[in-house]
Chains A and B, each alone.
Chain A
Amino acid sequence: MCLGVPGKIIEIKDMMANVDVAGAKKETCLMLLDDVNVGDYIIIHAGFAIQKVNEKEAQETLRIMNDLIKGMPQ
């Protein structure tokens, strides 16, 4: 039930956004977030955007995992 999927905001009209989720369009309410813009990635749960996805942190996590796999010190 706490399922959340990432999607990319295509268009914003007032409180509602049109979000691309793996090619499908989803009407998503933005009431729970400040400062969201077209092009942002968000996590959608029950028709609401519950958080923005932080690209920098995503890259950092992938880097940490990569270092771990390569046996670099943590």
Chain B
Amino acid sequence: MKYIDEFRQKNAAQAILKKIHEISKKKCNIMEICGTHTHAISKYGIRNALPPNICLISGPGCPVCVTSAGDVNRVIEFSKREKDVILATFGDMMRVPGTESSLQEQKAAGRDIRVVYSPLGAIDIAMAKPEKEVILFAVGFETTVPTVAATVLMAKDKGIKNFSVFALHKLTPPAMKALLDLGELNLHGFICPGHVTTIIGANAYRFIAEDYHAPCVVAGFEPLDAIHGLYMLVKQLEEGRNDIEIQYKRVVTWNGNVKAQKIIEQVFEICDSSWRGIGTIPMSGLRLKEEFADFNAEKRFGIKSETFEKPLDMILDLRLDNGDLKSEIQTGCACGEVLRGLLIPNQCPLFGKVCSPETPVGPCMVSFEGTCAAYYKYEFLQST
């Protein structure tokens, strides 16, 4: 397959890894933000093939994982209350635990909850079932946002009245800023997400290089891309540079997909958002603009909004009285720490014992891209 096979050549990957070993001297912490990178890096054994002075830490870039338990609870409550609706969602969301239940359990209890591959799938359902209300439960980062925005525009254009969106979209650069501001990790550089940046453009990370002096490389997702991106980042660190560089040039530009950005701006506006394990991050989410209120499920069905009790700087208190973390303490799940890069999955006492992809305890094991799932699938044997 074109644009895949060329970027999977094993000999080339090994040769570039060797180059990393040759140039890497400094001890450094590098974060790969995106869950798709985490998955690829684990799958191809890249983490363990790096020199021991490079610590590659997985970030909060799995949208399903960072959806707060409070938001999952709101969707579940809604599905219990409104019995005559069809809830459409992306696959991984089904098994994500709220405080007491998951969408999968609600489906088993008789609610009409369907998995769609594309947001357009929800429109198809709405057109096929005009007597039902169809609600798209939309999570996802900047890659997914324009697809949902375009779907809303399409629904408006076609005059579809029984379709609305419960939008819990999140933005990547504010989360990177939050992690840097929290200062729990001494991060020296970032591997930035290829497809998020396809939309927002690599200039979106300028502030990280300028204000935080951390270099960024936007990398693709094939093994050669990831290794080459790491080489570029390590080279910057060794040379003491803080630049933004693009490795995934066949798809990513400095300004991103401007048409997609315009479609997003037409439909959504920026708001605060609550992240599992991190807390409320200012201006890190998106909600539908007032003129699209008809398509806003929260407004249409009077769903209570999330209460943002905890500002980010009170993160340490979250352990005590935030619903999310309390439930996690009860189950012993360390997803919060995993999402902030403080723990690697095998340091969680439940990892591989009680918690596995078949019986996931936390969202990081539920999602295909979750850090715990990636470690379980590809790194478990190497680490035990």
Residues of chain A having any CB pair with chain B under 8 Å: 1-4, 6, 8, 22, 29, 31-34, 41, 43, 45-48, 50-51, 53-55, 57-58, 60-62, 64-66, 68-69, 74
The reply on B327 being an interface residue by CB < 8 A is no
Of the residues B64, B141, B150, contact of A48 by C-beta under 8 Å: B150
**Across the two chains, which residue of chain B brings its CB closest to A15?**
B154
**Across the two chains, which residue of chain A brings its CB closest to B14?**
A69
A34 in contact with B144 given A1-B90, A65-B224 (CB within 8 Å): no
Q: Is the CB of B193 within 8 A of A2?
A: yes
Whole-angstrom distance between the Cβ of B40 and the nearest chain A Cβ: 10
Cβ contacts B198-220/A at 8 Å (1 or 0 each): 11000000000000000000000
Q: Is the CB of B63 within 8 A of A46?
A: no
Residues of chain B having any CB pair with chain A under 8 Å: 1-4, 6, 12, 15-16, 19, 34-36, 61-64, 90, 92, 117-121, 139-141, 143-144, 146-147, 150, 153-154, 193-196, 198-199, 221, 224, 228, 231, 235, 247-252, 257, 259-260, 263, 367, 369
What are the residues of chain B within 8 A of A29 when measuring CB–CB? 118, 120, 147, 150
What are the residues of chain A within 8 A of B143 when measuring CB–CB? 1-2, 4, 45-46, 50
Known: A48-B118, A60-B249. 5 other contacts (CB 8 A): A6-B3, A29-B120, A32-B150, A33-B257, A61-B249
Whole-angstrom distance between the Cβ of A11 and the nearest chain B Cβ: 18
Q: Is the CB of A57 within 8 A of B198?
A: no
Of the residues B36, B119, B139, B259, contact of A3 by C-beta under 8 Å: B36
A45 in contact with B250 given A29-B150, A65-B12, A69-B16 (CB within 8 Å): no
A53 in contact with B250 given A32-B147, A41-B2, A69-B12 (CB within 8 Å): yes
What are the residues of chain A within 8 A of B119 when measuring CB–CB? 46-47
What are the residues of chain A within 8 A of B369 when measuring CB–CB? 1, 3
What are the residues of chain A within 8 A of B62 when measuring CB–CB? 1
Whole-angstrom distance between the Cβ of B140 and the nearest chain A Cβ: 6
How many Å lie between the Cα of A9 and that of B351 in the bound state?
A: 43
**Across the two chains, which residue of chain B brings its CB closest to A29?**
B120
Q: Is the CB of B90 within 8 A of A65?
A: no
What are the residues of chain A within 8 A of B194 when measuring CB–CB? 2, 4
A2 in contact with B141 given A43-B195, A48-B150, A65-B224 (CB within 8 Å): yes
